[in-house]
Structures are given as C-alpha cells and as structure tokens.
C-alpha cells in the first residue's frame, strides 16, 4: 500500500471559493470563525464550553430512545452517556440516506470525523470528543438517494410505489427491495467478502421498516467499533429545543435577511464565488404522512406552497408549539438546528457543503449561536496495484492524471510523439523577425505598422493551425496508445468525475474486506488538507 498526495487546487475538482478557504485567503476570513488547525480548537472549546447542561441531558435522552432497537457497541453507548458531561464535545458530519451508503465519500466523511476526534483526544486528554453522523432523514429528493453504482451497473430502488411517497425519505418504508437484493447478491458472486456485503444489504433493508432505521443499522455495522453516534433530527424532543429559532424564521425571516447580505458580500469579492444555496423568506417545511411541503406567507396568511393548508399567525405558532415534529428545517436552517442541539466544535463536509456553510456566519451571530469550525473532508482516489503498474508503464504521472480530458490527451500525445509537435520555437523566431520589421516601419512610414501587425497575427495564427493539425494527425497515428491511456484514466475517473462521487464502497470491499476500512483509517487525516491517492 502506498499513499501519495496532491493539493486540492491542483486536482481541478474544487471551486475557487474552497481553494481560497484552504489557502486562508484574507478576503474570506470574515465568513468563518476559526480556521481548522489543531491549535485553533482550544478557542472553539472555550467558546462552546457554556453549552446548556439541561440541553445535554435532553440530547442524551433522545439518543437513548433512538438507539433503543440498535445493537450499539459499548464505545458508542459510552459516547452517548458522555454527552451529558460538560467536558464533552462533538465533531459532526452529515449525509443523505443513500441506498447502501451511495458513493464512496460516505466512508471518507465518517472516517474524517472519527480521526479528528482521536487527534483531539490526544491533544486535549481532559476533554472528550464524540464522532457524530447526522442522518439527513428529512430530505425529500428520493431520486438523489435511491441507487448505488457497482461493477459499472446502477442498482436502483423504485421506492415504496405510492405508499407514503413524497414525504421525508427517512420515513419511507423499505418495501419492494427483495428483487434488488437478489440482483446485487448475484452480481457480487462468491466469496467471504461478497457474502458479507450481501448479508449486510439484506439485514439493513429487508429487516428494517423504514429508511432511517435501515441507514442507522448500516452505518452502525460499519463504524460502531469506532464509537460513532448516529443522530436523527426528525425527533419531536429535539425539534422542541429548536422552537425559538423556527419562530424567528417564520415571523422575522432572520435567515433570509442575514444570508442574503452575506451572499451579496461574497459575490462582490469574486465572480467565481458561486452561490451554493439561496435562502427563502421562510426556510421551513411542513411534514406529515407522505407530505413535505414549503411553508409560505402570502402577505395575509401562512400556508403550504401547494395550497392545501392555511394558518393565521396565531394558528401557525400554536401548531408549531404543539407539534414541532411537523416542521422541518431546510438546508439553510439545518446547520443552525444541528449546532443548537449538539455541543459541536467542527463540521466536516464536502466542498459544496462548506460553500453554503460559509454563507451562514452572520446568521448564526444574529441567532446567538456559536459558529463551528469548518473542515473539508478527506478526498481519496483508490487504485489497485494493477492500475498503478499500468500508469507507470504508460508514464502517466499523478499530476497528469488530474488534467481534464482534452489537456491530458494533448499533453501525452506531445510527450510520446516521435516528432516535435510544439511549434513554440518557430513562434519565437517569427516574433523576432517581426520585431525587426517594426523597427524598419518606425524609421520609414508609421502607417506601415498596422500592416506589419496584421501580417504578424496572420502568420502566428497559421502556425497555431498547423500545430493543431499536426497534433490531430499524431493522435490518429498513436490512437492505440491514446486508447490505453484513456482506458485507465476512465477507470479511475468514471464519467470524468472523481471516483469517490460515483463508485460504491462495495467495489473495493469485495476484494479487500475490512482491510479497506483499516487502510483508510491508517492513511486519512482531515487536518492534512491535501487530496489523497492510495494504492491498495
């Protein structure tokens, strides 16, 4: 096994905003609290030290209820109990309830969280640090989570077939998954690891009634021994803790006003800082059986966007206070909800997640809630020894591997060609010749300068055209070599995307078993903010 690294900005897969954040660019300092260096956690601990003790006890009670039917490890049980201790803090990540974990990066999120808690415990032995996975049980975009990719095939769940469809995905019953389970089992084939994966899928989805309990079981099976605590925000008791902030959103539109101002500031800094999420005036959904719809205000009354319900101001607040579980924070409010109920120090997420967290600092300040540190999760490219040997045989370097397809092909064709394709020397010679022509024009008739310039541009364009034709001809001549290079690149970057965003963990687990998890724990380190390449 070997580990190599490359800077995130050199991969070409991360936005300017995230790259500037990683570089601690001074223009965006105002949009986060503390940069996540190991030394910065002391200040974050002190800021979160006054987390309400009664809220801690209610959090523990809620988790104990949620874990009532879960065969949790002793360490996870200990971690839940420790949350009632004033010296205990959480490190949190969140993820959708993707079928069978979805893409590989689910593992990287969880491992990043666990690794950071272990590092912090070594640095601060008098404190306790609990790794938390926040399940996005209240999301409603079923099409984003109902599949996973394995062996180049898409395994897709059609859902409960009109039974409770349209509501929060976590409440969806795990119906009609038997056929998919059989197809996956057949695709896995024989072997100890294949059997483990098949049984894991079966126990998660055929033995649990809804997607929330299935996902909890799955994540617990993979990471319970690391003490991972899995939390479901779709909880009446936890929602009650969040009541004041839901009222503020309904009546004051606090998130809308604060985040809108922040977005304007970010966009004013750079045209390349793309807004990840725009706030709504009201950022709450109404949840019911099979229903998850936006709450809106039409100027006179509150209601649902589909027009099925209407409330006066007093009626809505009364409903909220009596049934907080019927209201669900959207992507704008969910981070605040998380930080209100957890003694959290740091959120670990992907680039897209961190981009919308960077919109929220002023909103947190207006809400009088401590803003957490933000850490980019580990990103990894896994390759087999056989794939590594292919790269070496084709003389493809790590830097070249991360080029876009067009640049990759052009660079390699120039490199392996038996003739010189780069006409830079000819361009330089041409420019030198025309420099002499400009001197002549200056001494004779300055009106001649325009004609000289036009001729120079024409001839330089001619060289560009010749170089492109030469490159195209060499691509045809070297088509077999180009095809081999593209084949290995497409294996590692399916659909021109990062492997971790496409392939399911089963792709590697069937060959390496639990060693895969061990290797990742050994090599990942979220405080080392570089992209990792691991050869298994």
User: Which tens digit of pLDDT belongs to each residue from 19-63?
Assistant: 999 999 999 999 999 999 999 999 999 999 999 999 999 999 999
Mean pLDDT score, 434-446: 76
Q: Is pLDDT at 165 greater than 60 in this prediction? A: no
Q: Residue 467: what pLDDT?
A: 63
Alpha-carbon distance 222 to 228, whole Å?
9
Q: Is pLDDT at 200 greater than 70 in this prediction? A: yes
H helix runs in 94-155, sequence order: 105-123
Q: Residue 426: what pLDDT?
A: 72
Beta strands in 144-264 (DSSP E): 147-150, 153-156, 229-232
Return the closest-CA partner of residue 36 out of 531, 535, 527, 534.
Answer: 527
Give the pair of three-digit tokens for residue 434.
Answer: 């025309």
Cβ atoms of 137 and 169 within 8 Å: the answer is yes
Mean pLDDT score, 416-442: 70
Q: Residue 410: what pLDDT?
A: 76
Is residue 250 classed exposed, middle or buried when 0-12, 13-18 and 19+ CB atoms within 10 A define those classes? buried
- Most confidently modeled range among 80-94, 442-456, 477-491: 80-94
pLDDT-derived band at 451, boundaries 50, 70, 90: confident
Give the pair of three-digit tokens for residue 533.
Answer: 């390449």
Considering the chain, what is the average pLDDT of its residues? 92
Alpha-carbon distance 232 to 95, whole Å?
11
For the chain, percent of residues with pLDDT exceeding 90: 80
Cβ atoms of 211 and 170 within 8 Å: the answer is yes
**pLDDT tens digits along 389-410:** 999 999 999 999 999 887 888 7
Phi and psi based region of residue 45 (left: phi greater than 0; alpha: psi -120 to 50; beta: remaining)? alpha
Q: Residue 470: what pLDDT?
A: 60
Cα 60 to the chain's mean position, in Å?
Answer: 28
Mean pLDDT score, 264-270: 94
Please give, one letter per residue, the 3-state secondary structure of 354-397: HHHHCCCHHHHHHCCCCCCEEEECCCEEEECHHHHHHHHHCCCC
Q: Residue 163: what pLDDT?
A: 52
Alpha-carbon distance 135 to 216, whole Å?
8
Give the pair of three-digit tokens for residue 281.
Answer: 């005036």
Cβ atoms of 97 and 212 within 8 Å: the answer is yes
406 against 501, higher pLDDT: 501
- Helix (H) / strand (E) element for 437: namely helix 424-443
Q: Is pLDDT at 146 greater than 70 in this prediction? A: yes
**pLDDT tens digits along 458-475:** 877 876 776 667 667 666
Return the closest-CA partner of residue 501 out of 144, 139, 231.
Answer: 144
**pLDDT tens digits along 112-138:** 999 999 999 999 999 999 999 999 999
Boundaries of every domain in the chain: 2-241+334-379+518-535, 384-417+481-496, 422-477
pTM of the predicted structure, to 2 decimals: 0.89
Q: Residue 173: what pLDDT?
A: 94
H helix runs in 67-104, sequence order: 74-82
Compute the chain's Rg from CA coordinates: 28
Cα 262 to the chain's mean position, in Å?
Answer: 22
Alpha-carbon distance 265 to 101, whole Å?
36
Among 154-163, 451-460, 472-481, 518-527, name the one with the lowest average pLDDT. 472-481
**pLDDT tens digits along 317-328:** 999 999 999 999
């Amino acid at each position: 096994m070997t580990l190599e690294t490359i800077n995130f900005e050199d991969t070409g897969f991360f936005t300017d905003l995230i790259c500037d954040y990683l570089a601690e660019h001074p223009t965006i300092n105002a949009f986060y609290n503390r940069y996540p260096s190991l030394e910065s956690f002391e200040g974050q601990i002190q800021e979160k030290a006054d987390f309400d003790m009664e809220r801690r006890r209610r959090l523990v009670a809620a988790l104990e209820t949620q874990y009532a039917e879960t065969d949790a490890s002793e360490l996870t049980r200990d971690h839940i109990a420790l949350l009632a201790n004033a010296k205990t803090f959480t490190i949190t990540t969140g993820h959708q309830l993707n079928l069978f974990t979805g893409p590989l990066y689910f593992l990287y999120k969880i491992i990043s969280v666990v690794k950071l808690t272990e590092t912090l415990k070594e640095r601060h032995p008098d404190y306790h640090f609990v790794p938390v996975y926040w399940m996005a049980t209240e999301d409603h975009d079923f099409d984003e989570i109902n599949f996973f990719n394995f062996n180049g095939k898409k395994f897709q769940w059609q859902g409960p077939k009109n039974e409770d469809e349209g509501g929060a995905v976590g409440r969806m019953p795990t119906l009609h998954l038997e056929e998919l389970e059989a197809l996956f089992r057949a695709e896995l084939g024989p072997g100890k690891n294949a059997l483990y994966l098949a049984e894991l899928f079966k126990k998660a989805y055929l033995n649990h009634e809804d997607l929330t309990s299935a996902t909890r079981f799955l994540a617990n099976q993979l990471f319970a021994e690391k003490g991972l605590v899995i939390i479901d925000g779709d909880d009446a008791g936890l929602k009650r803790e969040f009541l004041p902030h839901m009222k503020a959103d309904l009546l004051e539109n606090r998130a809308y006003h604060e985040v809108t101002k922040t977005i304007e500031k970010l966009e004013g800094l750079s045209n390349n800082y793309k807004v990840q999420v725009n706030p709504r005036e009201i950022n709450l959904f109404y949840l019911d059986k099979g229903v998850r719809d936006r709450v809106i205000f039409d100027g006179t009354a509150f209601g649902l966007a589909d027009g099925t319900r209407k409330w006066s101001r007093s009626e809505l607040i009364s409903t909220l206070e009596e049934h907080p579980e019927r209201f669900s924070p959207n992507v704008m409010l969910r981070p605040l909800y998380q930080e209100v109920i957890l003694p959290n120090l740091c959120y670990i997420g992907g680039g897209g997640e961190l981009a919308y967290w960077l919109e929220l600092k002023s909103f947190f300040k207006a809400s009088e809630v401590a803003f957490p540190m933000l850490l980019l999760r580990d990103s990894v490219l896994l390759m087999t020894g056989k794939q590594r040997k292919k790269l070496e045989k084709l003389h493809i370097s790590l830097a070249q591997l991360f080029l876009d397809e067009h640049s990759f092909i052009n660079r390699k064709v120039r490199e392996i060609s038996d003739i010189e394709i780069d006409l830079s020397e000819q361009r330089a010679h041409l420019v030198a010749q025309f420099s002499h022509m400009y001197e002549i024009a200056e001494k004779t008739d300055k009106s001649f300068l325009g004609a000289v310039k036009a001729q120079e541009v024409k001839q330089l364009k001619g060289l560009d055209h010749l170089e492109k034709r030469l490159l195209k001809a060499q691509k045809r001549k070297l088509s077999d070599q180009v095809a081999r290079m593209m084949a290995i690149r497409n294996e590692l970057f399916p659909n021109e995307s990062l492997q971790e965003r496409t392939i399911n963990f089963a792709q590697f687990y069937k060959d390496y078993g639990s060693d895969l998890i061990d290797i990742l724990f050994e090599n990942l380190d979220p405080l080392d903010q570089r992209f990792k390449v691991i050869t298994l």
